[in-house]
Amino acid sequence: MASKKYHEFTAGTPASTDLVLFGNPTTGLLKKVAISGFSNIYSTSERAIGTWVDGKTIYQKTWDIGEGTNDDVSLTGLTSAAIDTIIDCVTFGTNIINGSWSIFTPELSLVSGQYKVFTTNTNNNIFATVLYTKV
């Protein structure tokens, strides 16, 4: 099954257990999804954090990318063979020009079955966090 990208619509920061609305870009319909433990805990280990609209477990994992390369960087282990739905991706990094933290939502690309995220060479200390379900 092809991976699907949903865009998140929330008001404020989700609490430790919250209902988050996700919009399906194909149908425009919003779905409520219960996510437990959705706090500012980021781990390079995969964590189960809730249940998606189709009943599958939502997983969260963070990758330490390091320096920006102005190119796509592979997210090791995040492959089309293992992933059913990409729910969200957010990237954090330090802006090398002014030293501030930048938070942005990159588009993931899928190249030869491997998910990749684009990094700019104006950021370092980059981390990418992805929420997904498995096949």
Per-residue pLDDT of the chain (135 residues; tens, 9 = 90+): 344 443 333 333 433 444 444 455 455 554 555 555 445 577 899 999 888 988 899 999 999 999 988 999 999 999 999 999 999 898 888 888 888 888 877 878 999 999 999 988 888 899 999 999 999
Tokens of 20: 């988050």
Give all strands of the β-sheet with 123-134 in edge-to-edge order. Answer: 7-9, 17-23, 30-36, 47-51, 57-66, 123-134, 83-95, 101-104
Instruction: Give yes or no for a contact between 51 and 133, defined as CB atoms under 8 angstroms apart.
Output: no
Phi, psi of 76 (to 5 degrees): -55, 130
